[in-house]
């Protein structure tokens, strides 16, 4: 039966780098997906002003979402790299509202328990998502939403990405949609240009083209010629053990 899923990441390029293949496969299987982008991405260019950076990435994000088959992008607009613990309650409440309104069955986000993570936006997004998945199913949390027709509905399936390899126990083979992921990565022109230029500055003795950088950084194949996206998966039973 077709289901609804939400991809919740702080930055536009997180969508495709960490989960572009899984997203595309879910859409092709008949599921309906939404991208909830937490920050405004104002620092994710090489030499553009914050305003121009935000506008370019806003347009690119819409192109990427369309290419992957997502239904809508919700931009929450928090400042890039300055997501704070004091904003977690507000962010959690916004996510609960969206999860109920969109009737979300599955969420894809960052692992809230990852230890190998230096970007605070990643960690705090994961914490807010984990709490919202649980609290969206509790009638005593945000009871006013019930009066708006948004009945309690917990999110039962979670795919958590992380840089911590010890957490990743659920590889997803997305080789069949590798061409779609490659095309989506190229649509992230502004952040890809930033990462490529920074790579060239760090490795002046090893110049590569932008295309070569994208292939080697985000589209690597394993020994069997497969491109795997790595997650930690929590299903309904695991969620119940955690108190849902």
Closest residue by Cα to residue 225 from 169, 176, 186: 176
pLDDT at res. 206: 85
pLDDT at res. 238: 55
For the chain, what's the residue count?
A: 244
In angstroms, rounded to a whole number, what is the distance separating the alpha carbons of residues 165 and 184? 25
pLDDT at res. 237: 64
pTM: 0.94
Closest residue by Cα to residue 113 from 39, 171, 37, 164: 164
Cβ contact 190:44 at 8 Å: yes
Query: How many domains does one find in the chain?
Result: 1
pLDDT at res. 239: 47
DSSP-assigned beta bridge partners for residue 20: none
In angstroms, rounded to a whole number, what is the distance separating the alpha carbons of residues 141 and 160? 24
Closest residue by Cα to residue 57 from 47, 70, 71, 43: 43
State the CATH number of the domain containing residue 186: 3.40.50.10320
Residues spanned by the domain of 167: 4-241
Strand, coil or helix: 241? helix
Residue 172 neighbours by CB under 8 Å, 6+ apart: 21, 22, 25, 159, 228, 229, 230, 231
Residue 109 neighbours by CB under 8 Å, 6+ apart: 7, 8, 9, 125, 126, 129, 158, 159, 160, 161
In angstroms, rounded to a whole number, what is the distance separating the alpha carbons of residues 234 and 152? 20
In angstroms, rounded to a whole number, what is the distance separating the alpha carbons of residues 180 and 186? 10
List for the chain the helix, strand, coil content (%; round to 5): 50, 15, 35
Each of the 244 residues of the chain gets a pLDDT tens digit; together they read: 889 999 999 999 999 999 999 999 999 999 999 999 999 999 999 999 999 999 999 999 999 999 999 999 999 999 999 998 889 999 999 999 999 999 999 999 999 998 888 899 999 999 999 999 999 999 999 999 999 999 999 999 999 999 888 889 999 999 999 999 999 999 999 999 999 999 999 999 889 999 999 999 999 999 999 999 999 999 986 544 444 3
pLDDT at res. 191: 98
Closest residue by Cα to residue 10 from 106, 71, 88: 88
pLDDT at res. 1: 85
């Amino acid at each position: 039966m077709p289901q609804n899923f939400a991809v919740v990441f702080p930055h536009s390029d997180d969508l495709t780098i960490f989960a572009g293949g899984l997203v595309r496969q879910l859409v092709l299987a008949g599921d309906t997906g939404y991208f909830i982008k937490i920050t405004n991405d104002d620092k994710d260019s090489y030499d553009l002003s914050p305003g121009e950076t935000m506008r370019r990435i806003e347009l690119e994000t819409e192109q990427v979402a369309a290419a992957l088959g997502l239904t809508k992008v919700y931009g929450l607009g928090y400042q890039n790299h300055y997501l704070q613990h004091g904003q977690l309650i507000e962010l959690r409440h916004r996510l609960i509202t969206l999860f109920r309104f969109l009737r979300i069955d599955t969420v894809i986000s960052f692992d809230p328990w990852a230890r190998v993570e230096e970007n605070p936006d990643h960690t705090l997004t994961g914490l807010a998502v984990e709490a919202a998945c649980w609290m969206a199913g509790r009638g005593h949390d945000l009871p006013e939403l019930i009066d708006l027709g948004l009945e309690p509905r917990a999110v039962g399936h979670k795919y958590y990405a992380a840089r911590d390899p010890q957490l990743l126990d659920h590889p997803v083979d997305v080789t069949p949609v590798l061409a779609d992921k490659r095309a989506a990565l190229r649509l992230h022109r502004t952040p890809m240009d930033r990462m490529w230029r920074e790579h060239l500055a760090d490795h002046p003795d090893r110049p590569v083209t932008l295309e070569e950088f994208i292939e080697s950084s985000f589209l690597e194949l394993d020994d069997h010629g497969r491109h795997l996206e790595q997650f930690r998966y929590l299903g309904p039973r695991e969620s119940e053990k955690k108190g849902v």
